[in-house]
Chain A
Amino acid sequence: MTADTLAEARAGLRDILPPLLAAVPIGLLFGALAVGRGLHPAEVALMSALVFAGGAQFAVLDLWAAPVPIGAVAFSTGLINARHLLMGASLAPKIAGFPRLVRFVGVGVMADENWALAERRARERPLTPAYWIGMAVPFWVNWVLFTTLGALAGSLLGDPKRIGADFAFTALFIGLVAGFRAAPRAGAVIAASAAAAALAHLAVGSPWHVVSGATAGIAAAVLLAPAAGNPAIAGNPAQAGDPVQAGNPVQAGNPAIAGKTEARP
């Protein structure tokens, strides 16, 4: 292992630490709830290890019964995890240089958190397998460990709402979203996604909000994108709405204007 590899793995571990700590109460909560729904701690461990998708795991607990409705469980899982298709597609060019094995196994432990951090890092420098492994492996071990502990400890934990543990996931994601606020059209994407997801949640119910919100947010970005895009001008939502300005090659090529439109707090 070269010094570079080690440094990359360390950087991965350092970046994943906050989500890792935030996942501790969430994992304990999942394990405790799962046992309450009739799962054995060994089954909790197996599910966390093989599925490794918190949102989907929480959602199927609502469906859990004896006998287990396998079709409904699989369908709900697919719907909630459909976002992985988008996430994987977005990550693909950034991990294209990874060895095949790392790519195919590594993407198997892609989660919202390690993916968001990888995307953030890819904006600054190329992604390396060591960075990905340094993030993803501890995060996976942590989830399996704490969901299992939650299952074993069960009711000893008391009410997780008492310490706001049920909100930790939301707070973590708000932090991740804030990390992307400089991305082009960020405000419009967040607004469209949040509105559509909240409406879908109220109108239809749980698993559908992810697909609805993601679709609306992406649609907003596409609608506001100039046909022949200059990213700097496109980054300003006010100007992006003006087809003359967005399509004007003189202004688009003018670094002074581009620089001005990009300047943000």
Chain B
Amino acid sequence: MVDGQTLAAILAMAAVTYATRIGGVLIADRLVLGPRLKAAFDAIPLAVLTAVIAPMALATGPAETLAAAVTALAALRLPLIGTVAVGAAAVVLFRAVLG
């Protein structure tokens, strides 16, 4: 059911991932923030979230990029769940139209 090699790989992934999660918290507890470092920390949420989705939004195809633009417009007016629904519908539509 659970293979030894697979278990080892999963445990390695879990250990690495927990280290990344707790690491930032432990480091930050020892930092004193100046204005520039503060600006860097304020930018973290946007910089990280944007980086994760940029390949899908900008470097996959015209249908995905157009759908991302429509989703962004929707996001200015709709709550999160509405934004997701508009995004999924838009990508299906643009993929159908653009092949």
Contact = CB atoms under 8 A, between A and B. Distances in A.
B88 A51 contact: no
A174 B51 contact: no
Nearest to A215: B47
Interface residues of B, number: 74
A145 interface: no
A83 interface: yes
Which applies to chain A's interface (DSSP): helix, strand, loop or mixed? helix
Contact of A162 (B23, B46, B47, B92): B92
A228 B48 CA distance: 25
Contacts, number: 323
Interface string B58-99: 110000100110011001101111011011111110010000
Given A50-B14, A88-B23, A229-B38, A189 B88 contact: no
Interface residues of A, number: 106
A112 B92 CA distance: 25
Given A85-B24, A112-B48, A167-B67, 10 more contacts: A22-B80, A43-B1, A47-B10, A83-B51, A90-B44, A167-B87, A174-B71, A193-B48, A194-B54, A209-B54
Closest 10 CB pairs of A and B: A171-B87, A213-B51, A88-B24, A217-B47, A221-B43, A164-B88, A225-B39, A197-B54, A178-B75, A92-B28
